[in-house]
Structure 1
Amino acid sequence: MIEKMNEFGRDVTNFFERIGDRVKALLNGNRRLNHDIVIHSEAIPEGYKVVYQTERMSSVPSEQFRNQEPDPPAFLSTPQLAALHGKKVESHVISTSDGYLLTLHRIDVDDCMNETIGTVLLHHGLLGSSADWILLGANKSLPYLLSSMGYDVWMINARGNYYSRGHIEMKVDCEEYWSFSFHEMGIYDIPAALDYIRKVKNSTEEINFIGHSMGAAALLVLLSTQPRYNEYFRIAILLAPMVYMNNIKGPLKSNFTLLKELGERELLPQRKIPHDIARRYCKGLIIFCTNPLFFFSGLPEYTQWTDEFISSLLYHVPAGGSINTIKHYQQMSASGKFHKFGDMFSEYALSEVTVPIAMISSSEDWLATLPDVLKLFYTIRVPIDNFVIHGKKISHTEFVWGATADRLIFPRVFEYLEHGTNYTSFRNEIKLN
């Protein structure tokens, strides 16, 4: 079995090595992949020159992705990948109150729709980006499905990832720039996105929030520390929320020694776990064990994936993040509490969260374990539902791009969005019938 797995790994590696420099010609010469960049003057402070790269952000991919032939789903930015799917995505560059520059991606609404049925803001998970949401392609990706239903879909990119690497004053390679965790994403990034969306739409309508993993934690940070933002939301849907971490598995669990080997500012700028560390903590295909995201979250169920999908996936993830974010989660795994960075006694006041919340979790998830998600469900004030997926091989990352996500997860998301706070009564009616 191990030999077959290693053989698969060699096959994928050979696939990467077959891909050559023609991808650059594809990106540089294909005008179909151009997209709109929308920068409103009020979003960026006066006097600051924004440099926005439309192809890839500045991070350099690992060596296995060099000298590759064009495989269209890989090597493309979120807007370019969307264009390949026949969709159009706008890029909106905004600034936070503490000076970080973020990119919001918005799915262009179909011209034939007279009006939308609501607004949805998607927040990616740990080490992720907006690209995560559309890797499944034109017919299965959650943002596209929501857009086709009539929703105005926005995707946030948290500070430090490919699309949000900039600051009004600080350089990205300075230590102070990386002094953040999901706490700052909650108190600065999400509010900036919310205020900007409301201004662009000239509307105070309530927004629907879908947060995966770290995105769920960032939302709860915001709502518990700045309760006025509870009024901005209609409903929050948390996919595999990384909030309580007492029962997590893998190298993320209270392993403070490991962190010293993974960097001091940005987490692994080279985007690759050293082989000796990977083999020390991870058993399985080295191509996944050396990927920082899968190293922490567990190996994915890859047997239904094509080589092309794997190449695209491993090029887009991880999308970047700070070492402090990992430290913050390790601190919470040690304390068993949902608290501020470096202070286990400063717990976030979840009693301040009044937004109705629905959750989806899986029995195979290393990071958002069933006991921890259940603890969160019984802690929040307005729980709607805790949908648990048992025995379907849904790991932590596959809530967004898993081969069965469009069948096991997204339909439940649609039900939550449609019925909102009435979902519980709707569910009971279904059972009675």
Structure 2
Amino acid sequence: MMLLKGCFLVIFILTFRNLSLCDAEEFKGENTTVTSSTGNHTKKFILKMPLKDYRNETKKKVKKIKLKDGRSATEHDIGSMDGYLLMMIRLTSELPTKKCPVLLVHGMFQSSDRFLNQDKSRSLAYTLDDLGYDVWLFNARGNKYCQPHIAYAPHVIKSEFHNYSYEEIGCFDLAAAVDYILSITTFKKIHYISHSLGGTFFLVLNSLVTDYNEKFDRAFLMAPLGYHTTITNTNLQKELDDPTSLHEALIKVNTFEIFPYEAYGPIQDMVPDNCLGGKTWENICNELQIQKIMGIKSYNNTVAETRGGSTKILIQWAQNIKNKKFHRWDFGDSKNVEEYDGKDPPEYPLNAITVRTKIIYSPDDDMVKDTDIRALAKQMKNATTRKVKRANFKHDDFIDGEYVMEDVYSGIIKDLEYPKPLVKRVNGTKTPETKSKPTSGSLADIPWSALLSLVGLLLFIFISIISCCKKKDTNGACTT
């Protein structure tokens, strides 16, 4: 009987531990290297180019650092499939139990600094770390943390190094980051939280490389850039109305990146208005509010502090704005036929995305319209939307807003802590979303791990009572 009791005790312990895990169950694995399983899938969809999987050839370094608030973190060097050397930051919580990994992804021409420079009282990264989540900060190729390439020097072979749009970042950089996190942690899936173009990376990857839908548990996209049937900033729309001519003009003056290195040099101060390397396009820089986008606090910033990324990112976004679609890179009619078997670039197949996704938007966003956000979510199988209730909430307020913790982050954290079941469709439409309640709900809302733990507990109590009551003292009472 004691042996039986011991067995049920072990069952109870093993099942109870699942209560602290996210829906992405923990698993044990000995593999500590990034696999190359995505190569064939990505090659099928991405732009035609000679590819070699550099991820396992790259020396992976882990460096301990201290963040500005004094907490510990580590920098992780990884390689993308097409040879870019990337760096991620991992916060190391001091809590004894780590929860599901969470990947925070920055927006257009930004870096992980946008999350780390938030005030501590409204910092999403620090709050999640304090709650025990395994927090990772992404950096896309071309920003100040991801300048190296295995073959191209960024300031020597500029046209090759900066020959990427946000499609390559999604299918190569984000894929490499996800694979790396899963390879060195004990989880099958991660959570994903992004702002602006960071949401676009997610949409691109999971629509084109559908295997990755199985690697995300929950996704929270704050104001992702996708559909642009209308744009609030009509001046910016006018400036970007001819993306083909703009791209050709930038190439002619040897400008391939935001804040081109050759225009400012490595240490000279720069003026953010000239983000494209000259006065010719300063209206674009001003209308983009490049200073806000990149988190530049003053007009005196060295090039090392403000590296942004390829101008092709801006051009692809302009193509989507002009064509009022969310589509792949437009090469022009003749090249499109060669690349895509049609004159028009194909739209991203959003209905292939199955990850549970919450898209958070503001009706007063100056970069993406609420109607386009809702149209985007409608195309996805398991997406819902949440509107920010505060009036005059702008695009950069998702990072810099004074009340962003109250307006946005607290809702994300609540959804992580008390996840709801998958969104269901009835006759092709999604069922209305209800607020999550941590202490009530139907049996179907209870995680299977909790049910299993409850069964284990009841069995343990039942066996203990039987064992106990077989031993009676002289008064007929159960002994302990």
TM over 0.5: yes
In the comparison of the two structures, how many residue pairs are matched? 347
Where do 1:49-88 residues align within 5 Å? 83-88=67-72
Distance in 2 of aligned mates of 1:357 and 1:136: 24
Give the equivalent residue in structure 2 for 1:419.
418
Once the two structures are superposed, the pairs formed by residues 368-383 of structure 1 within 5 Å of their partners are 368-383=368-383
Deviations 1:103-126 (A, max 9, x none): 01011121xx22112110011000
SS of residue in 2 equivalent to 1:386? strand
Computed over aligned residues only, the root mean square deviation of the Cα atoms, in angstroms, reads 3.5
Cα distance in structure 2, aligned partners of 1:313 and 1:420:
45
Q: 1:281 to 1:129 in 2, by over 3 A?
A: closer
Instruction: State the match for 2:5 in structure 1.
Output: none
1:221 matched to 2:204: yes
In 2, Cα distance between equivalents of 1:51 and 1:92? 6
TM-score (norm 2): 0.64
Counterpart in 2 of 1:385? 385
The match for 2:141 is 159
| Pairwise CA distance, 1:137 | 2.9
**Which position in structure 2 is the counterpart of 1:340?**
328
Equivalent residue for 2:257?
A: 266
Whole-angstrom distance in 1 between the partners of 2:287 and 2:324 = 26
Structure 2 CA distance, aligned partners of 1:290 and 1:207? Answer: 32
Once the 2 structures are TM-superposed, how far is the Cα of residue 101 of structure 1 from its aligned partner? Answer: 0.5
SS at structure 1 position matched to 2:364: coil
1:19-418 matches, cutoff 5 A: 83-110=67-94, 113-173=95-155, 174=157, 175-201=159-185, 203-248=186-231, 249=233, 250-251=235-236, 253-256=240-243, 260=249, 264-269=255-260, 270=264, 272-274=272-274, 276=279, 280=283, 292-294=290-292, 310-311=297-298, 318-342=306-330, 344-392=344-392, 394-418=393-417
Q: Structure 1 312/200 Cα, relative in aligned 2: closer, same or farther at 3 Å?
A: farther
Shift in alpha-carbon separation, 1:91–1:254, aligned structure 2, 3 A = same
Secondary structure at the counterpart of residue 167 of structure 1: coil
When structure 1 is superposed on structure 2, of 378-387 and 270-279 the one drifting more is 270-279
Tell me if structure 2 keeps the 8 A contact 1:361–1:389. Answer: no
Whole-Å separation in 2 of the counterparts to 1:403 and 1:314: 24
For residues 230 and 367 of structure 1, what CA distance do their matches in structure 2 show? 27
CA contact (8 A) 1:128 1:161 kept: yes
Alpha-carbon deviation of 1:221?
A: 0.7
Q: Is the 8 A contact 1:129 1:162 kept in 2?
A: yes
Quick one: distance in 1 between partners of 2:127 and 2:417? Answer: 14
Deviation at 1:374, TM superposition (A): 1.3
Give the 3 Å change call, closer, same or farther, for CA 289–371 of structure 1 in structure 2.
closer
Structure 1 partner of 2:51: none
Change (3 A) 1:386 1:229: same
Counterpart code for 2:217: R
Structure 1 segments of 4+ aligned residues over 6 angstroms from their partners: 40-52, 312-317
Corresponding residue SS for 1:326: helix
Q: 1:47 to 1:337 in 2, by over 3 A?
A: closer
1:87, 1:322 → 2: CA distance? 32
Counterpart contact for 1:107–1:147, Cα < 8 Å: yes
Q: Deviation per CA, 1:89-145: give whole Å up to 9, x if none.
A: 2100000111111001011121xx221121100110001100001212333211000
Offset at residue 388 of structure 1 (A): 3.5
Shift of 1:211: 1.4
Quick one: percent identity of the two aligned structures?
A: 26
Distance 2:102 2:318 in 1: 30
Give, in whole Å, the separation in 2 of the partners of 1:291 and 1:351.
33
Matched residue type, 1:187? C
Structure 2 distance, partners of 1:98, 1:213, is: 24
Letter of the aligned partner of 2:380 in structure 1? I
